[in-house]
Amino acid sequence: MNQSLHLQGIGMTSRRTRMRLVQRLRDEGIKNEDVLEVMADTPRHIFLDEALAHRAYEDTALPIGHNQTLSQPYIVARMTEILLESKPSRVLELGTGSGFQTVVLAQLVNEVFSVERIRPLQEKAKERFRQMGLRNVRTRHADGGMGWPEAAPYDGIIVTAAPSEIPEELLRQLADGGRLVIPVGGDKQELTVVTRRGNNFDHRVIEPVYFVPLLGGVIR
Ligand code: SAH
């Protein structure tokens, strides 16, 4: 089951502010109404340190520590919209980070598997999922470059850090008809979508993006 959020005590005061953000996402071309609704329902400020919380509804990426960033709302919405086109049920996410993208996904698909290589970020995100009463998210502290083979195949894989090339292993973990949404490249990155049809992989480039790099190894 897709999940709705338990938000008691989290503060709903900012819904009006979030509606302004949603209008902006519409203006920028986001069309999927389910995605827009979830963006309106998900409090982004709780994924940030208090000192930055007042900037939560700006359409910009914001730092979450350890040289990482909470992605720009537009890009979260765009990647989610593209992922949903193939109506996924089980989704793998690489780069849990703050957990914002994870929580957006958890409200739109049946099951989310999310991998993060930096332990303190993973722990914080897990605590947020618990607070929000999410029961359809599994997390793992690991280098996600090899995916999460034990739980494969996935109808959708979303990667929120950029490798220089698409890891082959991720393609193997895609179900037939499933799609991978991933930023690829170094200084110049392209948001890329790969759709699996049997053993054919159809690549499509969406738009230029800028993500932190997908790195190897784990941090404890
Ligand atoms: N979706 C997150 C984005 C965080 S930034 C959010 O909106 O908050 C990208 C994240 O990918 C960082 O937390 C970084 O630690 C993580 N990451 C980078 N390389 C990784 C890897 N190989 N395996 C798992 N996570 C990785």
Ligand 1 centroid distance, CA of 8 (Å)? 28
- Using CA positions, which residue lies closest to atom 2 of ligand 1? 97
Ligand 1 residue neighbourhood (C-beta within 6 Å): 64, 68-71, 94-95, 97-98, 100-101, 115-118, 121, 143-145, 160-161, 212, 214-215
**Apex 181 CA angle, 143 and 209, nearest 5:** 95
Q: Which residues of 143-155 are buried (b: 16+ CB within 10 A; e: fewer)?
A: ebbbbbeeebbbb
Q: Which residues of 160-196 are buried (b: 16+ CB within 10 A; e: fewer)?
A: bbbbeebbeebbebbbeebbbbbbbbeeebebbbbbb
- Encode the chain (220 residues) as per-residue pLDDT tens digits: 477 888 766 655 567 888 999 999 999 999 999 999 999 999 999 999 999 999 999 999 999 999 999 999 999 999 999 999 999 999 999 999 999 999 999 999 999 999 999 999 999 999 999 999 999 999 999 999 999 999 999 999 999 999 999 999 999 999 999 999 999 999 999 999 999 999 999 999 999 999 999 999 999 9
Ligand 1 centroid distance, CA of 35 (Å)? 21
State the pLDDT at residue 66. Answer: 97
- Active-site residues: which are they? 71
State the pLDDT at residue 5. Answer: 84
Q: Are 206 and 180 spatial neighbours (Cβ–Cβ below 8 Å)?
A: no
State the pLDDT at residue 17. Answer: 87
Domains for the chain: give ranges and CATH numbers.
Answer: 15-209 (3.40.50.150)
Ligand 1 centroid distance, CA of 21 (Å)? 24
